[in-house]
Amino acid sequence: VNMSSMDLEKLKMTGAGRAIAVLTSGGDAQGMNAAVRAVTRMGIYVGAKVYLIHEGYQGLVDGGDNIKLAHWHSVTNIIQLGGTVIGSARCKTFTTREGRLAAAFNLVKKGVTNLCVCGGDGSLTGANIFRSEWSGLLAELVQKGRITDTLAKQHDHLNIVGLVGSIDNDFCGTDMTIGADSALHRIMEIIDAIMTTAQSHQRTFVLEVMGRHCGYLALVSALASGADWLFIPETPPQEGWEDLMCSRLEGGSRLNIIIVAEGAIDINGKPISSNYIKDLVVKRLGYDTRVTVLGHVQRGGTPSAFDRILVSLGVEAVIALLEASPETPACVIGLSGNHPVRLPLMECVEMTKLVQTAMNEKKFDEAVKLRGGSFENNLNIYKLLAYQKPAPSESNFSLAILNVGAPAAGMNAAVRSAVRLALAHGHKVYAVNDGFQGLANGEISAINWHDVAGWTGQGGSLLGTKRIGRVHEEYSFTGASALHHGGFHYIYTGDFQGYEGVLQLFEARCHYDELCIPMCVIPATISNNVPGTDFSLGADTAVNAAMEVICDKIKQSASGTKRRVFVVETMGGFCGYLATSTGIAVGADAAYIFEDPINIHDLTTNVEHLAEKMKKDIQRGLVLRNEKCHENYTTDFIYNLYSSEGKGIFDCRVNVLGHLQQGGVPSPFDRNFGTKLGVKAVQWISEKLTETFRQGRVFANSSDTACVLGLNRKVTSFTPVTELKDVTDFEHRMPKVQWWFNLRPMLKMLAKYQTSFCEYVPGEIEHVTKRSISIDCGF
């Protein structure tokens, strides 16, 4: 197989005659079903037999009906289900050699020599032991006469690939584990509900979340909710923390949120319980305090869009199994930024064990670093925001913040963190209402610490935002005048217009010295079409909105109505990110986008495919269409074509999602991402202000003083707006090359279309070291 690209025929030649088994083990996690579906369908697609092992390792040991041959429809309509439909169980028998001997016998009987295990580090370690003992187990089976020597030689080695399913996100080497994002969704839903009642009654709430050994869920939910205090096992509070916490909670706030990981300890290793914290607050401060233990609700519910899109890991797992040889070490498929990678399994396991060793030895700083750069960065930013207070206005600098273009979830989180950090640095901070138009009209007012309280979970744009024409022509002069009189330096959160506007302001510097100030763009748009970043604020929330509110419910409606196809129109301008991502998340039959041109032949082929599908078990179809995918093949045209060609076989319905995708509360990703980008933007502007302050004024005219703050692969970076011109399609308002386009072959394959994998780039082996896990990722 060519490692630079994939070819369908080569894949089918490799997969023909192979047998793959998949099991889920340990605790369940939302998204496991999406992974099982992807492994099953990819395996069948390349010509392999795929077996589903029910009840985890216990089913593998017991054999019989627990190991079932799968067909394409065995995994239909499971992508939106939580838990694991093939079951999971903790199996003590498999930890013994006798148990593994039985498991080996059951696999050999089915001709299986490729095993995909979805579980935690314990389950994956067990799989590696199984693999290392395989030849010895087969020799013992031959000796006992249970299999023939010929059969043993035909199955002489076992290939293992792991997928990490864990809501705790506690596995070193991968940025995210299957289920963690969905668990954060459950936590934030509860926190949002609690905040309303807490503000009504002026209460303090202590929330206990899962995490016996890892504080990831507690940390990210605290950062995303703006919690007042946090307890996690990796950073136990110092002696006297009770006094410090109570002094910080004093001040008459109507709402105090304290988040506790279930494994929280103090510096001496003594557990800190949620009830102890409650009693402390009541005794010291007399506040009405309640405890909420979230428990297993965090494991429940439907998986988030992110966890469903992680089906890419299941596809990669099958490819890794097909490419494996006896010399290939067991690997686990992880996530590096937005790309699947293959990680040596035992390197990950050993690094994960080092975290607990460091904590047992009370080397807590080392434990935090071993958790990875993202964990450490989240912790540092939480401390920066939670433990800061507004400083006296001693700075010479004034910062202004405005939102540009259409509203997007996460904007308010970015504004909140930017305002508070700027005030903590002693800057004067001003809010501009209604974007560039408000700037030109002088709609500028001071904004204070408490003005942004509670903004993190608010959707839309509380500052207001408006679309305008070209900034240079309409607003450069009046904007420059406003800047001159106010002495402002700017942070913009906004869509493609925000990027284009700052580019035009930068190019107008030669006419207006007032524009020679640092300017930073935080990408915020549901379309995810801003150059210089892989992700924009609001895109994750929009995909979840399209998935949860419409597409899942449409599928439910379709399942109750025989033979029906739904055509759903998404937003996104010319950018097909929303349609593609939502299509993967809901298991759509097709997603039409501008970047992947369609013709009438493609449409008729899809109609024929759906008609054939309707004649079998599955009698519903779902087709997504980006709003500008084609000038002539409109949503109505596609509806009419499908209705006409499907007449007598299926009927058709249309749904236009419209501005629903811009609404709703921000997802945990967008809250967290916005909070971090707001902090990084202020830190960058403060640095540039210091560098360019000369003779009583700021004069910043170099290209690196007008930048887009973006997330690229797994690193946040500042890219000058001028450098992005060559990689930008200004006519269609999007980058010329978009990383997510490589997901489209996977979308088509999972819908059972014949497709080329020439655009799919397989994951590469990445070794897991202390240095590799220290790289910061955006989430």
Residue-wise pLDDT for 483-535, tens only, equals 555 567 677 788 999 999 999 999 999 888 888 999 999 999 999 999 999 99
CB neighbourhood size of 180 (10 A): 32
**Residue of higher predicted confidence among 772 and 289:** 289
Q: Find the range with the poorest average confidence among 6-10, 296-300, 323-327.
A: 6-10
Question: How many angstroms separate the CA atoms of 210 and 260, rounded?
Answer: 9
Q: Tell me the two tokens of residue 534.
A: 């892989």
Question: How many angstroms separate the CA atoms of 497 and 470, rounded?
Answer: 9
Residue-wise pLDDT for 702-728, tens only, equals 999 999 999 998 889 999 999 999 999
Catalytic residue chosen out of the listed positions 28, 65, 156, 168 = 168
Question: How many angstroms separate the CA atoms of 569 and 602, rounded?
Answer: 18
Residue-wise pLDDT for 316-347, tens only, equals 999 999 999 888 889 999 998 888 999 999 99
Q: Which amino acid is at 643?
A: S
Question: Count of alpha carbons within 13 Å of 141, Cβ hemisphere only?
Answer: 29
Residue 130, pLDDT > 70, answer: yes
**Residue of higher predicted confidence among 261 and 89:** 261
Mean pLDDT, rounded, for 158-169: 94
SS3 for 520?
strand
Q: How far is CA 18 from CA 12, 53, 114, 221, 742, in A?
A: 10, 16, 8, 43, 26
Question: Count of alpha carbons within 13 Å of 448, Cβ hemisphere only?
Answer: 2
Mean pLDDT, rounded, for 680-700: 91
In sequence order, what E strands does 171-305 have? 203-209, 229-231, 255-261, 289-293
Q: Find the range with the poorest average confidence among 193-202, 479-488, 741-750.
A: 479-488
Amino acid 164: pLDDT: 95
Residue-wise pLDDT for 431-451, tens only, equals 999 988 888 888 999 999 989
**How far from each other are the two terminal CA atoms of the chain, in whole angstroms?**
33
Strand pairing category for 339-344 and 331-336:
antiparallel
Residue 513 class from Cβ within 10 Å (0-12 exposed, 13-18 middle, 19+ buried)? middle
Amino acid 756: pLDDT: 65
Residue 410, pLDDT > 90, answer: yes
**Residue of higher predicted confidence among 339 and 208:** 208
* pLDDT band, very low/low/confident/very high, at 619 (cuts 50, 70, 90): confident
Amino acid 466: pLDDT: 80
* pLDDT band, very low/low/confident/very high, at 296 (cuts 50, 70, 90): confident
CA triplet 179, 95, 66: central angle to 5 degrees? 65
Q: Tell me the two tokens of residue 763.
A: 């994951």
Q: Tell me the two tokens of residue 61.
A: 């040991």
Mean pLDDT of the chain: 89
Known binding-site residue numbers for Mg(2+): 121
Amino acid 483: pLDDT: 59
Residue-wise pLDDT for 179-193, tens only, equals 999 999 999 999 999
Residue 10 class from Cβ within 10 Å (0-12 exposed, 13-18 middle, 19+ buried)? middle
* pLDDT band, very low/low/confident/very high, at 624 (cuts 50, 70, 90): very high
How many secondary structure helices (H) and strands (E) does the chain include?
27, 26
Amino acid 201: pLDDT: 73
Proportion of the chain above pLDDT 70, given as a percent: 92
Q: Is 168 a catalytic residue?
A: yes
Domains of the chain are 5-177+303-357 (3.40.50.450), 180-299 (3.40.50.460), 394-536+666-738 (3.40.50.450), 539-662 (3.40.50.460)
The CA-based diameter of the chain, rounded to the nearest angstrom, is 92
Residue 3, pLDDT > 50, answer: no
Task: Give CA torsion, residues 640, 646, 648, 651, to 10 deg.
Answer: -60
Amino acid 257: pLDDT: 92
Mean pLDDT, rounded, for 570-586: 95
Amino acid 367: pLDDT: 95
* pLDDT band, very low/low/confident/very high, at 617 (cuts 50, 70, 90): low
Q: How far is CA 727 from CA 458, 519, 529, 546, 733, in A?
A: 33, 20, 12, 29, 11
SS3 for 703?
helix
Amino acid 778: pLDDT: 47
Residues near 119 by Cβ (< 8 Å), separated by ≥ 6?
24, 25, 26, 27, 56, 88, 162, 163, 164, 165, 166
* pLDDT band, very low/low/confident/very high, at 272 (cuts 50, 70, 90): very high
Question: How many angstroms separate the CA atoms of 640 and 623, rounded?
Answer: 13
* pLDDT band, very low/low/confident/very high, at 93 (cuts 50, 70, 90): very high
Question: How many angstroms separate the CA atoms of 299 and 491, rounded?
Answer: 38
Residue 225, pLDDT > 90, answer: yes
Residue 477, pLDDT > 70, answer: no
Amino acid 471: pLDDT: 54
Reference 254, options 201, 205, 207, 292; nearest CA is: 201
Question: How many angstroms separate the CA atoms of 609 and 192, rounded?
Answer: 43
Proportion of the chain above pLDDT 90, given as a percent: 67
Residue 110, pLDDT > 90, answer: yes
Contact between 264 and 149 under an 8 Å Cβ cutoff? The reply is no
Question: How many angstroms separate the CA atoms of 726 and 14, rounded?
Answer: 41
| Highest mean predicted confidence (pLDDT) among 5-19, 326-340, 625-639 | 625-639
Reference 180, options 374, 356, 3; nearest CA is: 374
